[in-house]
Amino acid sequence: MNASTKKLLLCGAIGGPLFVIAFLVQGATRADYDPLRHPVSSLALGPSGWIQVLNFLVTGLLMMLFAVGLRRALHATGRLSTWGPLLVGTYAVGLVGAGAFVTDPVGGYPPGTPGQGVHTWHGTLHDSFSLLVFAALAAACLVFARRFAGWGRRGWAAYSTLTGALVVIGFFLFGLGFAQVEGLVEIAGLSQRLTIAVGWGWVTLLAIHLHNTDESAPVHVGRHGP
């Protein structure tokens, strides 16, 4: 693996922690914002909203570079070397789109806005790109789970499968919470943050793993390989 590919892989290792640290700091310092209840995307609203918009855009661009690095690192291993990076690239596009189109108010934030019921074209696009983020990430986890299983790396295969499942479950839980479903409203923000931590954490560890081990070498896995 050449030096330029390793640098691209490092973008994936940097993007996840950067995104999480940025929204944690903002959530802890923003007046009237409740991290346990409100979405990460709501940080893009208000006078300081540009910070979260920038967070989406920068993280998305870093993940796009990571997807290119994945493609280069896995180019010699067949069909899944296309689908894995493609899904990570789709996840990156979703992040950029979520930043480019600002969400609608949810849960009464910013103060003075209704709990729900506000629907704008940019909010609808934001929601669509957000769905793309989590769907592509979950699918990427499952694709790489199959890949690691083919390599005989059961630990990584199990970890990737579990991450994909948790991302899907978490998405439905915090989605219901943001829709003001009783019993989930007050922890919707926490559920979303935990889901992001799990999913983005997997991307970070995958990037570090591939950066430190040359997976581009052909692997013999028998007739039933990936």
Give tens-digit pLDDT for 118-127: 789 999 999 9
Total number of domains constituting the chain: 1
Checking if the pLDDT of 152 tops 50, the result is: yes
Global confidence as pTM: 0.89
Q: Identify the pLDDT of residue 133.
A: 98
Inside any domain, residue 79: yes
Q: Identify the pLDDT of residue 115.
A: 62
Inside any domain, residue 220: no
Beta-carbon contacts of residue 2 (< 8 Å; ≥ 6 apart): none
Inside any domain, residue 7: yes
Inside any domain, residue 217: no
What mean pLDDT comes out for the span 169-174?
96
Summarised one tens digit per residue, pLDDT across range 22-43 is 999 999 999 899 999 999 999 9
Judged by average pLDDT, the poorest of 92-96, 116-120, 128-132, 159-163 is 116-120
Inside any domain, residue 133: yes
Inside any domain, residue 128: yes
What mean pLDDT comes out for the span 163-189?
94
Rounded CA gap, 10 and 213, in Å? 13
Sign of CA dihedral 134, 34, 115, 102: negative
- Mean pLDDT, rounded, of the chain: 89
Inside any domain, residue 91: yes
Checking if the pLDDT of 145 tops 80, the result is: yes
**Confidence bin at 116 (pLDDT 50/70/90):** low
What mean pLDDT comes out for the span 7-36?
95
Inside any domain, residue 200: yes
Q: Identify the pLDDT of residue 220.
A: 37
**Confidence bin at 222 (pLDDT 50/70/90):** very low
3-state secondary structure 153-188: CHHHHHHHHHHHHHHHHHHHHHHHHHCCCCCCHHHH
Q: Identify the pLDDT of residue 213.
A: 80
What mean pLDDT comes out for the span 193-212?
95
Beta-carbon contacts of residue 223 (< 8 Å; ≥ 6 apart): none
Identify the CATH number of the domain in which residue 7 sits.
1.20.1070
**Confidence bin at 15 (pLDDT 50/70/90):** very high
Residue 30's domain spans which residues? 3-212
CB 188 within 8 A of CB 39: yes
Q: Identify the pLDDT of residue 77.
A: 52
Checking if the pLDDT of 100 tops 50, the result is: yes
